[in-house]
A and B are shown apart, each in its own frame.
Chain A
Amino acid sequence: MKKKSVLIVEDIHSIREAIIDLLSNSYDVFGAENFDEAVDHLKNQKIDLTITDIRLPGKSGIDIVKYIQFNYPETLYALMTAYNINDYIHYAKEYQIWNIIPKYSFLDIHLIEVMVEKILSNDIFGVEKYFDKNFKIIDNHLNSEFEEAPLNGLIYKQIRSDQERSILCGKISKYLIGLGAPKSIQQVLEELTSNAMIRAPRTNAGDYKYQFEIPSHDMVVPVDNIELSPEDYFTIGYGSTETTLFIVVRDQFGSLKKEEILHRLDRHISVDELTGLPKGLSDSHGRGLYICREISDQLIFNIETNKCTETIAMINREGRSGFKSLSIYEVPMTH
């Protein structure tokens, strides 16, 4: 099979060369220093994926994205920046940018490899992609009670009711805090599981199954003591490696839209010019994802529409946190 091709646009020589080095075993990799050089490469051969720095001499990485969207709609793209990614969330929303990698000295170069593989294949699910070959997965104890995850691995549990959710989340958070997670990991568990249990399940008509809307009060209220029906069960995975603690929540719906993720993050991150405050500050909508992203060092979304949403929250155990990446992956729709 012909190797896929990747274009790296980065003006700092050593960073560009390092990424080219990293990827050239598996891909045909081209390097460009600026917009014009990138355009030359795009014209000369089919590029499957372009990874570009945002701030470049002259025209920016966002200009490259716009150029690609207009001229090469088949070419995928991802961005990198040494600056705060939150400053670019608004652009991400405006220009449909799903992946931004933070350039900082603790960046694990392997993350770039994983991102490229995920973007260029339909194989996006699974936290194990981020770790080595010895990573253990226990997925046949779904229905038993809480147990500790294997060292360098994770264990999946299935959740079928409100009661199971609260018992399991309590135990998982205690376990992860014992391994060094911040106490606020409880919040992450609460948010991610309530997304999977209450927001994700919808009827074919698109109505919520386990919460009802009160339009007069602009509110949605979850049903009390939810008992999920079997087709609505979701799974939660948790575990650790030497460097990382993580939570994985998977539902069976894939109803979370990637545009919706950016919309919610943007409302809480980008500052409204009129008020000087984020728009989301004044209401209670969709603060959960923002809080999860703030607490975790990495928050990764993997989506296959109508099949599965997988959200992965990672905490670095060595305190090596830089700016937070933007990581949203979706299995392309087949027509």
Chain B
Amino acid sequence: MLSRRETPNSIEQITEKARELEAIYDVVEDPLVLIDSDFKIQRTNLATVNFTKGYTFDSILNQSCYQVLYGRKDICPYCPYATNQLKTSNGQKTPTAREIFFKVEGKKQTLNLEFYPYPKNEGENWIVEKISDVTKQREKEEESFRMRNLASLGILISGIAHELNNPLTGISLTLQNLKSNWQNASPEQIEKRLEMIKNDTARAAMIVSDIISFAKSDKVKITLGDIVETINRAKDTVTRLFPHLSKNVNWKIEYDTEYQFPFHPAKMERLFMNLFRNSLQAFDYRPGEISIEIRKTKNWIHIIVEDDAGGIPDSIIQKIFDPFFTNNKSGTGTGLGLSICHSIVKEHDGNISVKSLDQKTRFTISFPVGDSSENQA
């Protein structure tokens, strides 16, 4: 490398050093381009010539960088030079980088562009752009992401299998009984068994719809709905589906008036069903209370769901909205409930947060509603 302490003292020596420098940056496989403040290319390396296809060393110089490199007629929309991103508040120039998709001869590439500011004169900045092809690297990362997803899918599936097994076994055993003695059974007995099959089917259906609503998040079909009514419906559904879990649980719902705002009714119901089911599972048949408070501030509706089922340990509270995270004993949950809640809230541009203190867990869900006086007018 050129050492700055060696001062060249003749034109020959300078030329010699320039050739040495040229040799160094010509072996770099990534294109390196020096661009002036008018977006004209001033210096470049061999890799750049190869990258541009069709230009030579001489024809590149003094051409617009966006045209030569990317075939554009105008400055690239993300150009940090044009958008002044290189200047920070204290006037310091910092390098910046950006990833773009770029098609070369029909092949889609992922390029990582790095921009290094080069202070040319007082008040004038040039830029060194380095272009790296990171397509393969990104593909590998995506592959490994998919593998991790597959692994968690395996865990998910075995959880679902267990969840489905219980209602299916109930249905199967009840049907075997019915088949062997329906002729001698009274209508009441038959009715009772059919009712059990119906309840088990509803349980299985709920598990399946859990999975479906996670797998496809279709566009929200929003209608004006009453949130209090939706929450009550969710409560009723959950107590119907989990009659034993909810037997000793007292419900308290507090609100001032009815609150209407636009939301997706089915998803909103599922959001609260998942929250309530989570609380019920946390009670694990113990007695307790789930209290729900609905409050309105100027631009938000807040729904606060609190239970006293023991709280969530600090060590896991950060993870509870992650897909597949479950604190249930192996196999009793899909680990999707709260992450579905999270995505439903986000689809409605809302926020969900959780706090746990003194054996209590409190979820606060907020939705933007605009000024209600305007809505009613």
> Cβ of B359 < 8 Å from any Cβ of A?
no
> Cβ of B169 < 8 Å from any Cβ of A?
yes
- With contacts A13-B196, A22-B177 taken as known, whether A104 is within 8 angstroms of B244 at the C-beta atoms is no
> Cβ of A283 < 8 Å from any Cβ of B?
no
Q: Are B284 and A15 in contact (CB under 8 A)?
A: no
Q: Are B244 and A13 in contact (CB under 8 A)?
A: yes
* Cβ-closest chain A residue relative to B174: A18
* Cβ-closest chain A residue relative to B185: A21
- With contacts A58-B284, A58-B285, A105-B165 taken as known, whether A11 is within 8 angstroms of B176 at the C-beta atoms is no
Q: Are B162 and A14 in contact (CB under 8 A)?
A: no
Q: Which of A65-73, A91-99, A106-114, A303-311 contacts B (4 or more CB under 8 A)?
A: A106-114
Q: Are B169 and A103 in contact (CB under 8 A)?
A: yes
> Cβ of A325 < 8 Å from any Cβ of B?
no
A 14-42 to B, binary, CB cutoff 8 A, 1 in contact else 0: 11011101100000000001100000000
> Cβ of A212 < 8 Å from any Cβ of B?
no
* Cβ-closest chain B residue relative to A15: B170
- Shortest Cβ distance from residue A112 to the other chain B in the assembled complex, whole angstroms: 8
Q: Are A18 and B170 in contact (CB under 8 A)?
A: yes
> Cβ of B197 < 8 Å from any Cβ of A?
yes
Q: Are A57 and B173 in contact (CB under 8 A)?
A: no
> Cβ of A138 < 8 Å from any Cβ of B?
no
Cβ-defined partner of B169 (8 Å) among A58, A82, A83: A82
Cβ-defined partner of A82 (8 Å) among B165, B172, B193, B329: B165
- Shortest Cβ distance from residue B31 to the other chain A in the assembled complex, whole angstroms: 52
Q: Are A17 and B174 in contact (CB under 8 A)?
A: yes
Q: Which residues on the B side are within 8 Å of A205 (C-beta)?
A: none
Q: Are B165 and A104 in contact (CB under 8 A)?
A: yes
A17–B244 Cα distance when bound, in Å, is: 14
A9–B199 Cα distance when bound, in Å, is: 20
Q: Which of B171, B172, B192 has the most CB of A within 10 A?
A: B172
> Cβ of B200 < 8 Å from any Cβ of A?
yes
A17–B185 Cα distance when bound, in Å, is: 15
> Cβ of B61 < 8 Å from any Cβ of A?
no
B residues 327-345 touching A (CB-CB < 8 Å): 329, 331
- With contacts A11-B244, A103-B165, A103-B169 taken as known, whether A109 is within 8 angstroms of B284 at the C-beta atoms is no
Q: Are B196 and A14 in contact (CB under 8 A)?
A: yes
Q: Are B177 and A13 in contact (CB under 8 A)?
A: no
* Cβ-closest chain B residue relative to A108: B176
Name the interface size band of chain A.
20 to 34
Q: Could you tell me the dominant secondary structure of chain B's interface residues? A: helix
Cβ-defined partner of A15 (8 Å) among B162, B173, B192, B243: B173
- With contacts A14-B197, A57-B284, A57-B285 taken as known, whether A106 is within 8 angstroms of B165 at the C-beta atoms is no
Cβ-defined partner of B244 (8 Å) among A18, A33, A83, A110: A33
Q: Are B171 and A105 in contact (CB under 8 A)?
A: yes
> Cβ of B117 < 8 Å from any Cβ of A?
no
Cβ-defined partner of B177 (8 Å) among A21, A34, A104: A21
Q: Which residues on the A side are within 8 Å of B193 (C-beta)?
A: 17, 21
B residues 231-279 touching A (CB-CB < 8 Å): 243-244
- Shortest Cβ distance from residue A14 to the other chain B in the assembled complex, whole angstroms: 3
> Cβ of B297 < 8 Å from any Cβ of A?
no
> Cβ of B37 < 8 Å from any Cβ of A?
no
- Shortest Cβ distance from residue A104 to the other chain B in the assembled complex, whole angstroms: 6
Q: Are B169 and A107 in contact (CB under 8 A)?
A: yes
A110–B196 Cα distance when bound, in Å, is: 20
Q: Are A34 and B196 in contact (CB under 8 A)?
A: no
> Cβ of B166 < 8 Å from any Cβ of A?
yes
* Cβ-closest chain B residue relative to A82: B165
A140–B312 Cα distance when bound, in Å, is: 69
> Cβ of B168 < 8 Å from any Cβ of A?
yes
Q: Which of A13, A15, A34, A103 has the most CB of B within 10 A?
A: A15
- Shortest Cβ distance from residue A280 to the other chain B in the assembled complex, whole angstroms: 25
- Shortest Cβ distance from residue A134 to the other chain B in the assembled complex, whole angstroms: 16
> Cβ of B167 < 8 Å from any Cβ of A?
yes
Q: Are B166 and A12 in contact (CB under 8 A)?
A: yes
Q: Which of A21, A107, A110 has the most CB of B within 10 A?
A: A21
* Cβ-closest chain B residue relative to A57: B285
Q: Which residues on the A side are within 8 Å of B166 (C-beta)?
A: 12, 15, 82, 103
- Shortest Cβ distance from residue B174 to the other chain A in the assembled complex, whole angstroms: 5
* Cβ-closest chain A residue relative to B173: A18
A 264-305 to B, binary, CB cutoff 8 A, 1 in contact else 0: 000000000000000000000000000000000000000000
Q: Are B172 and A107 in contact (CB under 8 A)?
A: yes
Q: Are B244 and A14 in contact (CB under 8 A)?
A: no
Q: Are B285 and A107 in contact (CB under 8 A)?
A: no
- Shortest Cβ distance from residue A32 to the other chain B in the assembled complex, whole angstroms: 12
A14–B168 Cα distance when bound, in Å, is: 10
A46–B169 Cα distance when bound, in Å, is: 29
Q: Which residues on the A side are within 8 Å of B176 (C-beta)?
A: 18, 108-110
Q: Are B172 and A105 in contact (CB under 8 A)?
A: yes
- Shortest Cβ distance from residue A115 to the other chain B in the assembled complex, whole angstroms: 14
- Shortest Cβ distance from residue B218 to the other chain A in the assembled complex, whole angstroms: 31
B residues 154-185 touching A (CB-CB < 8 Å): 162, 165-174, 176-177
8 contacts between A and B (CB under 8 A): A13-B196, A14-B173, A14-B196, A17-B174, A21-B177, A33-B244, A82-B169, A83-B331
Q: Residues on A close to B: CB < 8 A? A: 11-15, 17-19, 21-22, 33-34, 55, 57-58, 82-83, 103-110
Extra contacts besides A22-B173, A104-B169 (6): CB < 8 Å: A11-B244, A17-B192, A17-B196, A18-B174, A104-B168, A110-B176
Q: Which 6 A-B pairs have the closest CB atoms?
A: A14-B170, A18-B173, A105-B168, A57-B285, A14-B196, A105-B172
